Amino acid sequence: MTDITDRPALLAAIVALAEAGGDIVWRHFTAGCAVMHKSDESPVTAADRDAEAAILAGLAVVAPTIPVVAEEQAAAGDIPAVADAFFLVDPLDGTKEFVRRGDDFTVNIALVERGVPTMGVVYAPARDTLYWGDVAQDAAWTAARAPGGPRGTAQLIRVRTCGGKPCAVASKSHAMPGLDEWLDAGGVSERVAVGSSLKFALVACGEADVYPRTGPTMEWDTAAGDAVLRAAGGRTLDVDGAPFTYGKPGYRNAGFVATGGYQPAPLRPYLR
């Protein structure tokens, strides 16, 4: 068991669990697996379920007193009561990308404390890349790690200062009404398309300046990447420019703006 006050040990534990989950996802990716659909018609595979089961089993050992809200359990109606601290788990963010045989899918684990994602790990097995961070340590890292292999040397990451034309990172698979107008008004001319929680990671690494999202998401989609971004010196704001919080009813997100050194205008005037 890992005490939540021993933050380096807890972070190391959830990084290892994300790696284990990513290895499971990768085995299914290379072997191929059947695609099913949930009640909302979103796809789900054995990779989602097997990776989630492994992560939940690991969290029960390393942090048994902290509740876990996980995507597939939530879809089945199993949502625990949470207190000041809880985990959010998305065992396979970007299932559509996974099914299409793309590489923009990730495994995500986050710790939320008093509504703030304070610790998180994002593993992209098809990209051989791992990101993790802890807001309390004011530090975030990335490392290379091929599925089933050793982790490479950790490198500190930090958001960049936006001194020129800002670069936005956007979703590959979601049209967002009002977004073009917001980007044009903010002078954002360069855009990079990428899927899943990797959008947060690109801002955290200083490869992009801002990630706006006008449409709905779930908290387990965003919390891990958001935690890494905040640990790297970034912020995530709601559509009115206030701090973006977690533990909302149904764990549903409205629009948000994740940013590094770029100072964004509120999104709300552009929503329709």
pLDDT tens readout for residues 109-127: 999 999 999 999 999 999 9
Q: What percentage of the chain has pLDDT greater than the value 70?
A: 93
What is the radius of gyration, based on Cα positions, of the chain? Answer: 17
User: Comparing 13-17, 137-141, 158-162, which segment has the lowest mean pLDDT?
Assistant: 158-162
230: closest CA among 262, 212, 204, 267?
204
Residue 37: what pLDDT?
A: 66
Q: 92 falls in which pLDDT band (50, 70, 90)?
A: very high
pLDDT at 256 exceeding the cut of 80: yes
Cβ–Cβ under 8 Å, residues 109 and 224: yes
pLDDT at 1 exceeding the cut of 60: no
Average pLDDT of the segment spanning 228-233: 98
User: Is 0.85 topped by the overall pTM?
Assistant: yes
Cβ–Cβ under 8 Å, residues 199 and 170: yes
Q: 173 falls in which pLDDT band (50, 70, 90)?
A: low
Average pLDDT of the segment spanning 11-31: 95
* φ, ψ for residue 140, nearest 5 deg: -140, 155
Residues 6+ apart with CB under 8 A from 145: 19, 123, 128, 129, 130, 151, 152
* Structure tokens belonging to residue 90: 């998305």
- Binding-site positions: 71, 90, 92-95, 221
Q: Which domains does the chain have, with CATH numbers?
A: 7-157 (3.30.540.10), 167-270 (3.40.190.80)
Query: 121 vs 110, 157, 174, 257, CA distance in Å?
Result: 7, 13, 24, 20
Mean pLDDT across the chain: 91
Distance CA 44, CA 269 (A): 35
Q: What is the DSSP letter of 164?
A: S
Q: 142 falls in which pLDDT band (50, 70, 90)?
A: very high
Distance CA 30, CA 19 (A): 16
The number of residues in the chain equals 272
What is the per-residue burial (b if ≥16 Cβ within 10 Å, else e) of 132-146?
bbbbeeebbbbbebb
Query: 126 vs 7, 71, 105, 169, 253, CA distance in Å?
Result: 28, 21, 7, 19, 27
* Structure tokens belonging to residue 83: 């207190």
Q: 238 falls in which pLDDT band (50, 70, 90)?
A: very high
Q: What percentage of the chain has pLDDT greater than the value 90?
A: 70
Distance CA 124, CA 106 (A): 4
Angle 193-158-87 (CA atoms, 0-180°, nearest 5)?
80
- Binding-site positions for Mg(2+): 71, 90, 92-93, 221
Query: 268 vs 20, 63, 157, 181, 239, CA distance in Å?
Result: 39, 38, 30, 12, 5
- Binding-site positions for substrate: 71, 92-95, 221
Residues 6+ apart with CB under 8 A from 85: 4, 66, 111, 112, 113, 114
